[in-house]
Amino acid sequence: MKKVARAWAPASLSNLGPGFDALGAAISGLGDTVSVERTSRLGITVDFDPLGVWMGPTDAPSNTAAVAARHVASASGFDWNTDGGLHLTIRKGLAAGTGLGSSAASAVSAAVATEALLGVQLSEKDMIAAVVAGEGATSGQGHADNVLPSLMGGFVLMRSAHPTDFLRTEGWEELSLLIALPDAEVLTREARKALPTTIPLSRAVDHAARLALMVAALEGKDVAGLGTWMMSDDIVIPARRHLWPWLDDLAGAALGAGAAGCTISGSGPAVVACCRQHDNDDPQMAIRKALEHQMERAGLKGSVSMHHIDNHGALLLDGDQAISWRTGKRLPKPNP
Ligand code: HSE
């Protein structure tokens, strides 16, 4: 019987324009690690590794990782009040409130580590339910647009209320992502309060058509189409625009430097630009510089980083080995 298990899960982009609450993508180079340990003290407890980049509240009932772990334990028939306790240590590789799926990365790595610790293999449906519940602890709603990509890698589109109906696409080696992350925190729970509660039928039809075109671009690995449609949301971004006064200028700078598209990720503040990487013409450095320059001009503190799509999703960390949750394949270990 294992005493401790550890897992890593990537950060993710979400919404990507008209894919509000339905579309997300896992990104390389950023993620959270969660260790889950059996303890003699009953219950589920949480703390944060001080070596991580962020530490949050350790109130276990509402902690996203603890909620996901609890669901996995429960679905495995493990009772933390009688069978022995579980202690989670979360090492954050990204801060909360960035729009890059920070809570999802914690929920997913906690679920994967708990499953390994308990020596069970839950159905895909039960794992999805566990990570969606974990995400719900943070946002107040169980949308799956960050947790599914974080669990499975690639781009994932799913019906929010029915997270087992999903479409996943991977690959995208030629896609470069530039992420501008201003030093600001936007809480998803708050950003959701800015949303309209109803929309006219004609706008719903228009929105559905835009998302359909986005899906066609995803299926065709069409970077220009992806860029165009990620900028086409006419419902959610207009309602939240006041939360991100930097968006238009950053998007203008990225597009001017050759980006195929640029939009907000999730509820922000992160802004993501994309471009196609070619051997002879690689605009990513020019876009990075343009974003950095624009942030400086606007007096915005923060960073700009370069990423790719992470096609693997969550990894179980076992000594020197990293094992994909989705495929069971051994892969290179991510940076802590
Ligand atoms: N789809 C969610 C939202 C993602 O936009 O509220 C939060 O990052």
Predicted confidence (pLDDT) per residue in 122-179, tens digit:
999 999 999 999 988 876 666 789 999 999 999 999 987 677 789 999 999 899 999 9
CB of 241 closer than 6 angstroms to any ligand 1 atom: no
CA of 101 from ligand 1 middle (Å) equals 9
Q: What angle do CA 27, 271, 17 make, to 5 degrees?
A: 85
Q: Is the pLDDT of residue 60 over 90?
A: no
- Taking CA atoms only, the protein residue closest to ligand 1 atom 7 is 266
For 239-252, what is the mean pLDDT? 96
Residues linked to residue 323 through DSSP beta bridges, in sequence order? 316, 330
CA of 152 from ligand 1 middle (Å) equals 18
CA of 102 from ligand 1 middle (Å) equals 11
The pLDDT value given to residue 141: 64
For 69-79, what is the mean pLDDT? 95
Q: Report the C-alpha gap between 165 and 228 in whole angstroms.
A: 26
The pLDDT value given to residue 295: 97
CA of 197 from ligand 1 middle (Å) equals 15
- Taking CA atoms only, the protein residue closest to ligand 1 atom 4 is 266
The pLDDT value given to residue 214: 96
pLDDT band at 89 (very low <50, low <70, confident <90, very high): very high
Q: Is the pLDDT of residue 316 over 70?
A: yes
Write out pLDDT tens, residues 227-237.
999 999 999 99
Q: Is the pLDDT of residue 189 over 90?
A: no
The pLDDT value given to residue 138: 72
CB of 145 closer than 6 angstroms to any ligand 1 atom: yes
For 225-253, what is the mean pLDDT? 96
CA of 83 from ligand 1 middle (Å) equals 36
CB of 14 closer than 6 angstroms to any ligand 1 atom: yes
For 42-58, what is the mean pLDDT? 94
Q: Is the pLDDT of residue 183 over 70?
A: yes
Q: Report the C-alpha gap between 127 and 157 in whole angstroms.
A: 17
Which two tokens mark 263?
């939009």
Q: Report the C-alpha gap between 48 and 284 in whole angstroms.
A: 34
The pLDDT value given to residue 328: 95
The overall average pLDDT reported for the chain is 93
Residue to substitute in 13, 15, 27 for testing ligand 1 pocket (most ligand atoms within 8 angstroms of CB): 15
The pLDDT value given to residue 135: 86
Which two tokens mark 200?
């006219």
Alpha helices in 76-187 (DSSP H): 102-117, 124-139, 147-152
Residue to substitute in 98, 131, 139, 187 for testing ligand 1 pocket (most ligand atoms within 8 angstroms of CB): 139
Q: Report the C-alpha gap between 301 and 78 in whole angstroms.
A: 46
CA of 121 from ligand 1 middle (Å) equals 29
Out of 91-105, 185-199, 271-285, 307-321, which region has the weakest mean confidence (pLDDT)?
271-285
The closest-lying atom of ligand 1 relative to the alpha carbon of residue 266 is 8
The pLDDT value given to residue 142: 63
The closest-lying atom of ligand 1 relative to the alpha carbon of residue 191 is 6
CB of 188 closer than 6 angstroms to any ligand 1 atom: yes
CA of 116 from ligand 1 middle (Å) equals 29
The closest-lying atom of ligand 1 relative to the alpha carbon of residue 268 is 8
- Taking CA atoms only, the protein residue closest to ligand 1 atom 1 is 21
- pTM to 2 decimals? 0.95
SS in 3 state form for 177-240?
EEEEEECCCCCHHHHHHHCCCCCCHHHHHHHHHHHHHHHHHHHCCCHHHHHHHHCCCCCHHHHH
The pLDDT value given to residue 25: 98
- Taking CA atoms only, the protein residue closest to ligand 1 atom 8 is 266
The closest-lying atom of ligand 1 relative to the alpha carbon of residue 195 is 6
